[in-house]
Amino acid sequence: MTGNSLDPHLNRYARRTEGMRASAIRALFAVASRPEVVSLAGGMPYLNSLPLGMLGQDVNQLVAEEGLTALQYGSGQGILALREQICEVMALEGIQAHPDDVVVTVGSQMALDLVTRIFCDPGDVILAEAPSYVGALGTFAAYQAQVVHVAMDADGLIPEALTAAIASCRAAGRRIKLLYTIPNFHNPAGVTLSDERRGVIARICRDEGITLLEDNPYGLLGFDDAVHRAIRADDPDNVIYLGSFSKTFAPGLRVGWVLAPHAVREKLVLANEAATLNPPVLNQMIVSRYLATFDWMGQIKAYRQTYAERRDAILAALTEYMPAGTTWTTPQGGFYVWITLPEGFDSASMLARAVSARVAYVPGTAFYADQLGSRQLRLSYCFPTPERIEEGVRRLAGVLNGELDV
Ligand code: PMP
């Protein structure tokens, strides 16, 4: 008897639940968090260098001094002080924004949900890079939007591939709503959209009447300290920009944001209120105080250094241990390396053997809406130490070499 046949609600679920799939990553977390397993799977930020004692005192003080506000219901758009600070953060990427056009959300994941909710009817097309962020694919599927993937190379999304994808969707009579792109330190591909392509892609979207959704949680985590100019900076009317404090501060607080053209922003606030009433006030105040009182740019520099060392460790280990014919990207920031295995490998079916060999990764198929990616896999280098990273890659190479021997 299957679990389903025991479910008395089986015939009552909405059709949109058909697109909901268990996340390959979440399923892995339980196994991968066992101490003997080197997890190169989840993209968990390395929080150990946060000033926990100071943060604890700040939270105490916040509740003692401003508890009646911090613990109360709040604005569906988010607190003004934080929205002003968010504008300052975005200014680092060349964005000039007004706090009134910012909506605070429960992580940028909620922002993805709200944007899809207000733009997409079932069957509408969202163009997205091949591969693309698994959490966004999950949200798009939940709203029954159809993802059409667009090829990338080492310089990010390929403009000619975008034009071709638009033409073929239009020829098939399909309605395209959004282009979803992660320009910086892509999850999972580890590449960055070149500055030259940014304007080209923005222009294509504008000319074709497609809203560009720029998802940028990693933008400040570039290893050479350079910050790329956001696509939104040069196209405020057609770009919706998503930001997050998850990678630069703390994901557990679940504080992200959307910057949107004014009319879109109004709809987003209504959708935010319908979904959550308001983002948690205490968490917003914690972030706001952190930005106001702590050397947060110094903290980001420390993160960059930690992650750069780990990126170096993983690239060195890949070069040393991977079987011939394996290729990978060279991330200039962020958390991820994207691996392509030689012909004949299947990263999904190999995963159980890898976990037995005490190393975990995410199979490439998780990052495609159409089951491509069986020769690819994503490795995250953000959390384990350089020594553990080397050990993890060595174990992974052992599994691959074992497969070659069969
Ligand atoms: N977008 C991308 C590309 C991500 O990698 C993530 C987190 N892994 C998110 C959005 C969601 O981040 P959060 O909800 O924590 O802000």
Q: Which of 246, 272, 283, 367 should be mutated for ligand 1, with most atoms under 8 A from CB? A: 246
Beta strands at 211-215 and 176-181: parallel, antiparallel or unpaired: parallel
List the structure tokens of 12: 């009552």
Strands 336-340 and 327-328: antiparallel
For residue 3, pLDDT beyond 70: no
pTM of the model as a whole = 0.95
Which residues are near ligand 1 (CB < 6 Å)? 43, 107-109, 133, 135, 182, 187, 215, 217, 244, 246, 251, 256
Q: Whose CA is closest to 364, among 148, 161, 188, 142?
A: 188
Distance 137 CA to ligand 1 centre (A): 12
Q: Side by side, which strands form the sheet with 376-380? A: 327-328, 336-340, 376-380, 362-363
Looking at residues 298-315, what average pLDDT do you find? 96
Confidence of residue 2 (pLDDT cuts 50, 70, 90): very low
**pLDDT for res 1:** 43
CA of 350 to the centre of ligand 1 (A): 26
Judged against a pLDDT cut of 70, whether residue 204 lies above it is answered with yes
pLDDT band at 23 (very low <50, low <70, confident <90, very high): low
- Top pLDDT among 2 and 194 is at 194
Q: Specify the pLDDT at position 22.
A: 73
Question: With pLDDT > 70 as the criterion, what percentage of the chain qualifies?
Answer: 96
Q: What is the number of the ligand 1 atom nearest to the C-alpha of 254?
A: 15
CA separation (Å) from 97 to 85, 233, 281, 292?
A: 11, 9, 22, 19
Reference 364, options 376, 356, 351, 379; nearest CA is 376
Which residue has a Cα nearest atom 11 of ligand 1?
109
ipTM of the complex: 0.99
